């Protein structure tokens, strides 16, 4: 056996890869490898962020991505993007950008794979309804990016590094920006305060910025991944929409991805920020705004949610809250969540939730679309709300 340590092998591997930019996040630079619950001695071939990737991919909530809505619910259509596909697309785009800019690919991948793990069923509509219920009962705010941190940090104490958690909570920038500048590095205590401020201060979540360039890369990659994909999906379900804005980025997804990633690399190389030029920014901004107007704000689509998901979520929320108050261990919130597997240890500690509502929110946010519908039907049967649930099937005329 050669007289060489794992750490030496790792160092040589990084050198062979080509090294990092001076702006990359590389342990132990700036205590980048600090974990939220403290580090454990572990000499491994894996970097701290590679460990984060494995922790996220083996998290019980990771599998839930495959049956959560990205934009369109109630369609039996294998061609429509689900959240699992979206997360993979974000990771691919972000890793390409990070590789080209000499940033830390492991950190980028960890942030990308974990960024939506706390997302609700039924996409941003489900997020909106759950926030309304949670805020009404507690005065606190629910946001999927904040809940991703709670899901990974509290509900399943995964013990990720602070840069990964920071990139996850700060990924959510709905409006494109021309330049993405990192914020100041956060200590574990500062990070915890930031998380709590997201729950208590209205609008605070919109001020978040990641403190690593890798986090900035994931933030822009998230938008890049869905802008054209959502348009493709709208056409696949037969949504009668005329997109008027013709971008110089290209109207096909492969053209769009190639043009915008190349522009970002050219404008960001060896810079302490992530940037695109004015024309590319204008294109991305206008494409996104048109999506808001013609897809996300479509009245016909949102109407179907208002007569199904909204009343269903309300009934389940208050049912489960009552079940916990009465310690009804026959309730599915006990059988499938509170007393299930590793969750049991989580809820034995009072400090892991401020109110009963936090447990209810943990459970509902973790649900996949199909589980949510089946759970409701299991409890309430074919009631008047359930009768409004209608799927567009594989062979229905509506999707041809």
Instruction: Report yes or no: 201 and 162 within 8 Å, Cβ to Cβ.
Output: no
In a domain, 222, yes or no: yes
In a domain, 1, yes or no: no
Please provide the DSSP assignment of 77-115 as one string. Answer: -TTSPBHHHHHHHHHHHHHHHHHHHT--HHHHHHHHHHT
Whether residue 244 is found in the same domain as residue 191: yes
Query: How do residues 299-330 score in pLDDT, each as one tens digit?
Result: 878 888 999 999 999 999 999 999 999 999 99
Provide the pLDDT for residue 86: 97
In a domain, 138, yes or no: yes
Whether residue 295 is found in the same domain as residue 357: no
- Kindly give, in sequence order, each residue whose CB lies less than 8 Å from that of residue 100, ignoring residues fewer than 6 positions away: 261, 265, 269
Whether residue 33 is found in the same domain as residue 136: yes
Whether residue 101 is found in the same domain as residue 229: yes
User: Which position has the higher pLDDT, 175 or 296?
Assistant: 296
- Domain-terminating residue out of 262, 278, 301: 301
For residue 295 the two structure tokens come to: 């897809």
Query: With 80 as the cut, is the pLDDT of residue 29 above it?
Result: no
Closest of 77, 54, 129, 62 to residue 314, by C-alpha: 129
Query: How do residues 210-249 score in pLDDT, each as one tens digit?
Result: 999 999 999 999 999 999 999 999 989 888 888 888 778 8
- Domain-terminating residue out of 301, 325, 349: 301
In a domain, 67, yes or no: yes
Provide the pLDDT for residue 285: 92
Whether residue 334 is found in the same domain as residue 220: no
Tell how many helices (H) and how many strands (E) occur in the chain. Answer: 17, 2
**How big is the CA angle at 18 (ends 13 and 20), to the nearest 5 degrees?**
100
342-368 burial code (b ≥16 CB/10 A, e <16)? ebeebbeeeebbeebbbbbbbbbbbbb
Provide the pLDDT for residue 399: 45
Provide the pLDDT for residue 177: 78
In a domain, 176, yes or no: yes
Provide the pLDDT for residue 10: 58
Query: How do residues 159-203 score in pLDDT, each as one tens digit?
Result: 999 999 999 999 987 677 789 999 999 888 999 999 999 999 999
In a domain, 239, yes or no: yes
Whether residue 284 is found in the same domain as residue 326: no
In a domain, 159, yes or no: yes
Whether residue 339 is found in the same domain as residue 277: no
Whether residue 331 is found in the same domain as residue 218: no
Phi, psi of 274 (to 5 degrees): -110, 130
Tally of domains in the chain = 2
**Residue 175 belongs to domain with CATH number:** 1.10.3210.10
Whether residue 202 is found in the same domain as residue 271: yes
Query: d(Cα 212, Cα 166) in Å, to the nearest integer?
Result: 8
Whether residue 287 is found in the same domain as residue 342: no
- Look up the domain containing 59 and give its range: 6-301
Query: Binning pLDDT at 50, 70 and 90, where does residue 1 land?
Result: very low
Whether residue 314 is found in the same domain as residue 186: no
- Domain-terminating residue out of 256, 282, 301: 301
Whether residue 232 is found in the same domain as residue 250: yes
Provide the pLDDT for residue 367: 98
Query: How do residues 334-378 score in pLDDT, each as one tens digit?
Result: 999 999 988 999 999 999 999 999 999 999 999 999 999 999 999
Q: What average pLDDT does the structure give for the chain?
A: 90
């Amino acid at each position: 056996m050669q007289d060489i340590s794992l750490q030496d092998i790792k160092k040589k591997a990084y050198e062979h890869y080509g090294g990092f930019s001076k702006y990359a996040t590389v342990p132990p630079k700036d205590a980048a490898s600090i974990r939220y619950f403290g580090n454990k001695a572990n000499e491994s071939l894996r970097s701290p962020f590679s460990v984060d990737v494995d922790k996220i991919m083996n998290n019980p909530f990771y599998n839930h991505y495959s049956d959560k809505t990205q934009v369109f619910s109630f369609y039996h259509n294998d061609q429509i993007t689900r959240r699992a596909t979206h997360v993979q697309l974000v990771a691919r785009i972000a890793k390409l950008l990070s590789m080209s800019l000499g940033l830390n690919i492991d950190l980028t991948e960890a942030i990308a794979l974990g960024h939506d793990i706390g997302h609700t069923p039924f996409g941003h509509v489900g997020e909106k309804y759950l926030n309304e219920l949670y805020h009404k009962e507690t005065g606190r705010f629910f946001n999927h990016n904040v809940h991703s941190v709670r899901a990974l940090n509290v509900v399943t104490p995964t013990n990720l590094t602070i840069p990964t958690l920071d990139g996850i909570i700060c990924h959510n920038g709905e409006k494109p920006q021309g330049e993405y500048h990192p914020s100041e590095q956060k200590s574990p205590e500062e990070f915890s305060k930031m998380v709590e401020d997201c729950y208590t201060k209205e609008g605070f979540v919109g001020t978040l910025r990641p403190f690593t360039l890798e986090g900035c890369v994931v933030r822009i990659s998230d938008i890049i991944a869905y802008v054209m994909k959502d348009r493709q999906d709208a056409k696949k379900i037969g949504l009668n929409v005329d997109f008027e804005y013709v971008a110089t980025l290209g109207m096909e997804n492969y053209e769009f991805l190639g043009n915008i990633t190349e522009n970002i690399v050219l404008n960001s190389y060896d810079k302490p920020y992530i940037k695109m030029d004015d024309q590319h920014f204008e294109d991305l901004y206008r494409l996104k705004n048109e999506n808001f107007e013609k897809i996300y704000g479509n009245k016909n689509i949102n109407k179907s949610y208002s007569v199904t998901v909204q009343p269903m979520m309300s009934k389940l929320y208050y049912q489960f809250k009552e079940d916990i108050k009465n310690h009804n261990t026959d309730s599915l919130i006990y059988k499938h969540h509170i007393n299930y597997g590793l969750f049991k240890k989580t809820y034995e500690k009072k400090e892991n939730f401020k109110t009963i509502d936090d447990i209810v929110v943990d459970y509902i946010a973790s649900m996949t679309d199909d589980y949510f519908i089946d759970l409701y039907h299991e409890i309430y049967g074919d009631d008047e709300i359930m009768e409004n649930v209608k799927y567009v099937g594989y062979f229905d005329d509506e999707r041809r």
